[in-house]
Amino acid sequence: MLDQLQALPADPILGLAAAARADTRAEKVDLTVGIYMNEQGICPVFDAVRDAQAALAADETTKAYLPAAGVADFNTGMQELLLGADHVALQDKRVSSVSAPGGCGALRIGAEIIHAAAPGATVWVSDPTWPVHLPLLGSVGLQFSSYRYYDPSSHGVNFDAMVEDLKQAGAGDVVLLHGCCHNPCGADLTLEQWGVVADMAAAQGFLPFIDIAYQGMGDGLDADAAGLRLLAERLPEMIVAGSCSKNMGLYRERTGVTLFICRDRDNAQALVSQALVAARRIYSMPPAHGALIAGRILADAQLGEAWRTELLQMCERINGLRSTLRQKLESACDRDFAFIEKEKGMFSFLGLSAEQAVRLREEYAVYMLNSSRINVAGVNAGNIDYLAESVAAVL
């Protein structure tokens, strides 16, 4: 039976990352995968995470199952982190959440809930979006439409086109929005534009589904969540999928949360019961280790402060790299790269053709996706000049 199955091609991003790892050229620059890298090219462990983990190891007396909704401090901490501790939806007690295996697990649980409520729902996704959204949500049975979002010629959001497309989304439809630091393009909505989306959702009745995997890596923890907070103030219902992979560096611990913002407390509790049954079908219970670490950080003033400071330094480094990269590219290439400085988070499209991206890889050992999406955090003082010269050479 099993021998009928053929090997499948590698995931394009992970396949490219593997090719980059195998490349032994000394000048290699790997800007493929979406993990944060420091100046030394290492994806570091946060000190606050190390401390919380040590305290957890010292205190832990059992590995027995946790309640199926996950770690209580983590759930409460994530609700407050995403919405802000004094958010009106929290005061009205119309928010609930379940822990999930990473942002992907959180998205999947959100999709399961949507499918339970409206099996034929169409999910509107931005063009482009993170490619994993499609199998992750589509395998639940949801349909997709796309709305225009990134305009390669202006290197920014084509908001008029987005609004025009979303005029077709009605009650029973879902609009998937990147909460901040859009992956792959780095171009985010302004707060005013979030307000327009909120008005459209209120008038047309579509459900916003917010994927926020990079809170704190664009303009700071609060600023990055301002759009989703605005929606949660104005709308009766929405779903948020949060992740601690990037902003706490808990990539392999699989630490995420699905938040339900509902009409009232009873509905919020009903959705938790639905989510638990959905989780039971797939993986039964969420992993605890990362949620216990994140829960400690969020519940402890000192650890929380230490984590916020480290995250801010990370965010400032990314924004600093964006400015320097813009300058280096502009002096090497005689082209306008101002958009790199305006965009948020780890990703930007450099605006190169697929042929140019392939040449960079083959001739210069500079790895980026064929779409010319780069991970800005993979740039450092040791490779930035070479990167700019290589880009200039293929342009």
Ligand X SMILES: Cc1ncc(COP(=O)(O)O)c(C=O)c1O
Residues of this chain that interact with ligand X (CB under 6 A) are 34, 102-104, 130, 178, 183, 211, 213, 243, 245, 251, 256
CB of 215 to ligand X, least distance (A): 11
CB of 330 to ligand X, least distance (A): 28
CB of 132 to ligand X, least distance (A): 7
Residue 51 bears catalytic tag: no
Please state, in angstroms and rounded to a whole number, the distance separating the CA atoms of residues 26 and 6. Answer: 36
CB of 301 to ligand X, least distance (A): 26
Cite the DSSP H helix spans in the chain. 12-22, 47-59, 72-83, 88-91, 102-117, 133-138, 159-166, 191-204, 221-224, 226-234, 265-282, 289-299, 301-333, 338-342, 354-364, 384-394
Cα torsion through 24, 29, 34, 37, rounded to 10 = 100
Helices (H) and strands (E) counted in the chain, each on its own, are 16, 13
* Closer residue to ligand X (CB): 94 or 344: 344
Nearest alpha carbon to residue 99 among 265, 255, 299? 255
Name the one residue in this structure whose structure tokens are 């920014």.
156
CB of 250 to ligand X, least distance (A): 8
* Closer residue to ligand X (CB): 258 or 356: 258
CB of 209 to ligand X, least distance (A): 11
Residue 246 bears catalytic tag: yes
Q: Which among 30, 188, 211, 224 is annotated as catalytic?
A: 211
* Closer residue to ligand X (CB): 136 or 365: 136
Q: Which among 124, 130, 194, 307 is annotated as catalytic?
A: 130
Residue 184 carries which side chain, given as an amino acid letter?
A: P
CB of 228 to ligand X, least distance (A): 14
Contact 315, 217 (CB under 8 A): yes
* Closer residue to ligand X (CB): 234 or 289: 289
Please state, in angstroms and rounded to a whole number, the distance separating the CA atoms of residues 296 and 352. Answer: 44
* Closer residue to ligand X (CB): 78 or 213: 213
Residue 143: strand, helix, or coil:
strand
* Closer residue to ligand X (CB): 130 or 307: 130
Please state, in angstroms and rounded to a whole number, the distance separating the CA atoms of residues 312 and 352. Answer: 30
Please state, in angstroms and rounded to a whole number, the distance separating the CA atoms of residues 395 and 390. Answer: 9
First to last CA, the chain: 51
* Closer residue to ligand X (CB): 19 or 35: 35
Q: Which among 173, 246, 328, 344 is annotated as catalytic?
A: 246
Token pair recorded at residue 156: 């920014």
Residues 6+ apart with CB under 8 A from 232: 83, 87, 89, 95, 238, 240, 261
Residue 160 bears catalytic tag: no
Which sequence positions are flagged as catalytic? 130, 211, 246
